[in-house]
Amino acid sequence: MSGRFSEAHPFGNGHINDTFRIRNEVPGSPDYVLQRINTHVFPEPEKLMENMSGVISHIKHQKRYAHLVPELIETESGAFFVKTESGFWRMYRFVEGAKSFDRAENEQQVWEGGFANGSFLKALESFPIEKLYTVIPDFHNMVTRIRQFEEALETTSKERKEWAFDEIISIQKKKATWIKMFQSAVTGNIPVRVTHNDTKFNNVLLSEHSKKSCVIDLDTVMPGYTFFDIGDGLRSAVISANENESDLSLVVVNEHFYQSYIDGFIDGSDGLLTSEEKQLIPKSGGYMAFIMAVRFLTDFLKGDIYYKTHYAEHNLGRAKNQLYVSALFEGIS
Ligand code: ADP
Ligand code: GN1
Ligand code: MG
């Protein structure tokens, strides 16, 4: 770290952690990003930081991929986090000349997003997967997510159940299809890889330079399947409005973006994907949008305890949006 603290202000649109940009008042010295880890979501932050620092170091040691992850700042005692009364904190160097977008603006951005996420998998091909902790078990397991949804249905208030009536029915109608897809995918011949697991479009800082974007939000890096990362990218990068949009007439799949994301991802992953993994791509966007709907609705039924929300029906609106997106993808797969 270098320079002198000037000011700190809340930054970005993440749903989980508290993020601040730290301005540096010394010209030529970098800004920093300070984050308080959400320990409700991540009850074992030390393990998460061990995963994250290992993954970042592995990628930074490969010249070709060094730009792909942010630099974590070490404390004076050599740790990558600080635990204080106010929480569990970590810091990165601010990535200059790059920006995160909640919604893609053009095909090139979408391709770069796919390329960055595909490159991330390739860069971690040689990472010793057995060293990773599973930070959130069954994170994208549909069976588990449906079970959590059904438990929430049992304990929620009558009022919330009535509010969410249509979305509850939609999930009940489609759950068997997506459980089946999950089970046949994971019992098929697909490799377990080191995956990112949170490849939402705004978790890529798009660079001014092609193929130099940076993947952030590495909290959930753990063993997973490629279709999680492709699907999460598709559901968030190729739709004309993001998951917060409540006017569904604005929610449309851009088919050019769709193909660009896949092309970018495949180019970035540089020969890594097997034909079985490629076969899952057409279902992956629908799968990930549906699992997001289940998770948003579960959180709504539980009283909005997981995701940051800005108004009372926010999670319900996100669930409605993602159910709609999932159905749109089914229409084109
Ligand atoms: P959350 O887990 O809450 O989503 P993120 O790690 O995604 O938190 O960070 C939130 C936002 O902060 C990002 O969308 C991005 O805009 C910004 N951000 C995070 N890390 C950096 C960084 N190293 N450089 C620049 N911006 C960053
Ligand atoms: C959360 O941290 P953020 O906002 O990038 C969530 C993801 C969801 C996403 C939906 C740890 O991601 O799984 O896809 O919200 N992260 C965690 O917007 O639950
Ligand atoms: Mg994020």
pLDDT tens-place string over residues 185-201: 999 999 999 999 999 99
Q: Using the predicted structure, report yes or no on whether residue 303 has a pLDDT greater than 90.
A: yes
| Residues 230 and 209 reside in one and the same domain | yes
Residues 208 and 125 in one domain: yes
Q: Single out the residue in 98, 119, 137 at which a domain terminates.
A: 98
Which residue has its alpha carbon closest to ligand 2 atom 7? 198
pLDDT at 53 over 80: yes
C-alpha 173 to ligand 3 mean position (Å): 30
For ligand 1, atom 7, the nearest C-alpha belongs to 217
Query: What is the domain-level CATH number for residue 46?
Result: 3.30.200.20
User: Mean pLDDT of all residues in the chain?
Assistant: 97
Nearest to 240 by CA among 205, 206, 201: 201
For residue 158, the tally of other CB atoms under 10 A from its CB is 7
Residue 1 pLDDT greater than 80, yes or no: no
Do 133 and 233 sit in the same domain of this protein? yes
Instruction: Provide the residue range defining the domain that includes 211.
Output: 107-332
Residues 132 and 218 grouped into a single domain? yes
Q: Which of 55, 73, 98 marks a domain boundary?
A: 98
Q: Are residues 76 and 26 in the same domain?
A: yes
Query: Same domain, yes or no, for 171 and 60?
Result: no
Contact between 152 and 302 (Cβ < 8 Å): yes
Residue 40 CA to ligand 2 center (angstroms) comes to: 13
Dist. CA 59–CA 3, nearest whole Å:
26
Co-location of 168 and 94 in the same domain: no
Q: Among 64, 98, 132, which residue terminates a domain?
A: 98
86 and 155 share a domain? no
Residues 143 and 244 in one domain: yes
User: What predicted TM-score, i.e. pTM, was given to this entire model?
Assistant: 0.97
Q: Which of 41, 103, 200, 230 to mutate for ligand 2's pocket (most ligand atoms within 8 Å of CB)?
A: 200
Distance CA 168, CA 324 (A): 13
pLDDT range class, residue 3, cuts 50, 70, 90: confident
Asked if residue 205 has pLDDT above 90, the reply is: yes
As for how many domains the chain has, the answer is 2
49 and 167 fall within a common domain: no
Query: Quick one: 291 and 161 in the same domain?
Result: yes
Q: Report the CATH number that the domain containing residue 230 is assigned in CATH.
A: 3.90.1200.10
Residue 98's beta-bridge partner residues?
Answer: 207
Same domain for 245 and 285: yes
CB burial class (10 A; 0-12, 13-18, 19+) of residue 27? exposed
Ligand 2 pocket, residue 15 CB under 6 Å:
yes
